[in-house]
A and B are shown apart, each in its own frame.
Chain A
Amino acid sequence: MSSSLASFEPRGRRPKRLMSPASIMIYSVLFVAAIYYLIPLYVMVMTSLKGMPEIRIGNIFSPPVEVTFQPWATAWNSACTGLYCEGIKVGFFNSMKILVPSVILSIIIASVNGYALSNWRFKGSELFFTALIFGAFIPYQVMLYPLVIITRQLGIFGTLTGVIVIHTIFGMPILTLLFRNYFVSLPPELFKAARVDGAGFWRIFLQIMLPMSLPIFVVAVILQVTGIWNDFLFGVIFAGTKNFPMTVQLNNIVNSTQGVKEYNVNMAATILTGAVPLLVYFFSGKYFVRGIAAGAVKG
């Protein structure tokens, strides 16, 4: 498809004439694709603003005749997850309690680790790094049960601490890769000069590397915030029932079999759950792209 499109362009991709047949086709394909991508978001918002009677007679694509914010209030305050009817807000605060320490802890550990691996290599450090990266490909399911045993032995199974430790462990490969590659790319003269001036491991890290690496920290924070917020598996296993994160609560609300299904409330709850990563995404733009691209850049 792209080939037949592009063949209209006689000279490759350079020319910038806006109204040539080729560019009309390019824009229409992109436009149609964009609409396809936006439909679910549109449907979610529209459904969440309708009352249930309107949903039953209407069409998922039609905008609400009578706009109501009641579903949003219900979703936040009193939607039911099986036994409890305290709304998705419980999950929101649980997710926050999991998110903040996990992000901070995992980034501290991985940044220092990446720094050690780039500037202070020791015997075997490259081997461990390679093993770490390959470990990222092992399906989580393979390590789940032994981790349940280990966390239970440590007394942190089914607690916030437990799920935070798990997030820190599984965030390590990608974050270490990110920081290591960044520190390797910094001019080595900086490091050498600091060494000549007598600065040590921690001092170089805190006073020279850290001030220079704000962008990569932003990328790491974005990567972790979206990743941890969107996690379901670790939350459902390691957090314990009373700490279930928002994704787990959302799934329990929407897929619970009791009672009449309130689709508008379900969609409001779904938007609320997606809101945090979406906001991060819309406000971070190129940093988000850098974060996901980091996974594709070989170390």
Chain B
Amino acid sequence: MAVSRRPFAPMRNLNAKVAAVPMIVTVFVVFVGCTLWTVIYSFTSSRSLPTLDFVGMDQYVRLFRTSRWTVSLKNLAIFGILSLTFSLVLGFILAALMDQKVRFENTFRTIFLYPHALSFIVTGLVWQWILTPAYGVQKVVRDLGFETFNFPILTDGRFTIYAIVIAGLWQGTGLVMALMLAGLRNIDDEIWKAARVDGIPAWKTYLFIIIPMMRPVFITTLVIISATIVKVYDLVVALSNGGPGISSEVPAKYVYDFMFSRGNLGQGLAASTIMLTTVLIILVPWAMLEFRPEKRRGGGSK
């Protein structure tokens, strides 16, 4: 369908619009439509089937009275804060070390990043095996002669969420390192030269010049990790399945279980609406910062 003359606006728009139909449908039906549906039905008494019997905030009140939900929220907070802090700090340190013109940089990067290619299920199952008291770390240390060594991270509910943090960090820090390394490589060499001329030690240059310059990289990384943290699900299912008891439950698992196994739709929808709210609390300030000055087109590419 070659067009021989310079086409007029309607024709041109038609092709592009046809190409964009899947996007438009996705935005309207899935992102807007499904989200609105969920928010609206979270105010109803829906159980195994959705009904439009509005009960106000009842589902939310019940939600926050359910200990499993409050435990889930607490776990998400622990997991979120620890994962964010450690992955950003460790990721940056690794990146800064890799940026010292080290040999075998590619080998190191391959090693740090390979867990990111694995699924959360694989990650969770490996760490479950390594941390199993009867065979894993606890037994290894006891075999070394420390017979009273206790490491009940999977069997004592107070600690299980930390096992999930460890597994999550193993899987995710490589990504942060890669993003930080890309950020460091984008820093102009002139900055380093100037700092050197002024006799500023390298650690001070990092702390007071480079890190502030990398603010956008840090913020973008933060937003991306936060969004994945809120969604954490498969990792928990594989590693501990929320146990022992309810001690390592997380919100996404609450949603799934109440929607698909317990036939208590209203609870699942209310819980997922809270998840959405959490993401919005992270996202909206970022978006307002990021998109305040209009810089479309050419803004992203150097």
Interface residues of A (CB under 8 A from B): 1-7, 9, 11-14, 16, 18, 22-23, 26-27, 29-30, 33-34, 36-41, 43-44, 47, 55-56, 59-61, 109, 112-113, 115-117, 120-123, 125-126, 128-129, 131-132, 134-135, 137-147, 149-150, 168-169, 172, 176, 181, 184-185, 195, 198-203, 226, 229-233, 237, 247, 250-251, 254-255, 263, 266-267, 270, 273-274, 277-278, 280-282, 285, 288-289, 292-293, 295-299
Partner of B114 from A13, A29, A37, A115 at Cβ < 8 Å: A37
The winner among B24, B26, B99 for most chain A CB atoms within 10 A is B26
A108's nearest neighbour on chain B, judged by CB, is: B22
Residues of A within 8 A of B92 (CB): 2
Contact mask for chain B residues 210-237; partner A; CB cutoff 8 A; 1 contact, 0 none: 0000000100110110010011011001
Residues of A contacting B101 with CB < 8 Å? 13-14, 16
Name the prevailing secondary structure of the A interface residues.
Answer: helix
Chain A hits for B127, CB < 8 A: 40
Residues of chain A lying within 8 A (CB to CB) of residue B300: 181, 297-299
Least CB separation from B23: chain A residue? A113
Residues of chain B with a CB closer than 8 A to A9's CB: 100, 202
Q: From residue B191, how far is it (CB to closest CB) to chain A in Å? A: 10
Chain B residue with Cβ nearest A231:
B119
Q: Which residue from A120, A123, A247 sits with its C-beta under 8 Å from B234?
A: A247
Residue of B23, B126, B202 most packed against chain A (CB within 10 A): B23
Segment from B59-67, B147-155, B157-165, B174-182 that makes contact with A: B174-182
The number of residues on chain B lying at the interface, defined by a beta carbon within 8 Å of a beta carbon of chain A, is: 121
Within 8 A of A (CB), among B218-268: 220-221, 223-224, 227, 230-231, 233-234, 237-238, 241, 251-252, 255-256, 259-260, 265, 268
A145–B227 CB distance below 8 A: no
State whether A232 touches B120 (Cβ < 8 A): yes
Docked Cα-Cα span, A125 to B16, in Å, equals: 9
Q: Report the minimum CB–CB distance from B137 to chain A (whole Å).
A: 8
Q: Are B19 and A40 in contact (CB under 8 A)?
A: no
**Residues in A whose Cβ lies below 8 Å from that of B195:** 12
Which residues of chain A come closer than 8 Å to B112, judged between CB atoms? Answer: 33-34, 37
Give every chain B residue within 8 A of A40 (Cβ-Cβ): 115, 123, 126-127, 130, 170
